[in-house]
Amino acid sequence: MLTIPQVDEYSSFYAGYIARSGDSDVLKMLSEQMADLKSLLQNIADEQALYRPTPQDWNLKEVIGHLIDCERIFSYRALRISRQDVAALPGFDQEDYVRNATFTHRTLADLMEELSLLRAANLLMFKSMPAEAFTQRGTASDAPISVRALVYILAGHMDVHLESLRKEYLPA
C-alpha cells in the first residue's frame, strides 16, 4: 500500500488534493471513485448535463471533460517520471483546455466511458509499477513532484469534483 507523500514531494498547490486522500488506500480510492461518479450521474440526461451553477462555471459535461484531461496529464507525468525521464514537464491551463475542447457536443455517456477507461488503464499501470517507481521524482509545472504524489493528486482532484457535483450541480 502506498503511503501519503511527504511535503517535499509536491508543490504546495497540490496540498489540498493530497490531504483529501489522507492515509487511505489510494489505489482503492481511485478504483471506487468511478463507481461513485457513475452512481451520481446515472440518471442525468444530456440536456441536464449542460447545467452550470453560475454563468462562469463549467457545465457538467465540461467538468467530466476536465477530469479526463487531468487523468491523462497526471498519469502521463507519473509514467514519464516513473521511467526516470528527467525532462521537465510543462504545466497546462485548465481553462484553455476546456475552452478548446468539444465536451459540450459529446454525450455524457461517451465522456463517462472515456474517463472510466482511462482510470482503469491508470490503475493497471499503477498496480504494475514496482514500489521504487513511486519514489521517483521529476519536475512538472516548474516544481518537484514524485510519482506517489501524482497518484494521490489524481484521487484528491476527483474527490474535489465529486463533492462539487454533489453540492453545486446535482441539487439543482
Within a 10 A sphere around the Cβ of 172, how many other Cβ atoms?
8
Amino acid at 135: T
Q: What is the mean pLDDT of the chain?
A: 96
Q: What mean pLDDT do residues 109-138 have? A: 98
Give the position of cell 513532484: 145
Within a 10 A sphere around the Cβ of 53, how many other Cβ atoms?
15
Question: Has this prediction a pTM greater than 0.85?
Answer: yes
Domain extents in the chain:
7-169
Q: What mean pLDDT do residues 4-15 have? A: 96
7-169 has CATH 1.20.120.450 classification: yes
Q: Give 86's DSSP letter.
A: -
Q: What mean pLDDT do residues 50-77 have? A: 97
| Integer Cα distance of 15 and 5 in angstroms | 10
Q: What mean pLDDT do residues 55-72 have? A: 98
| Integer Cα distance of 146 and 42 in angstroms | 35
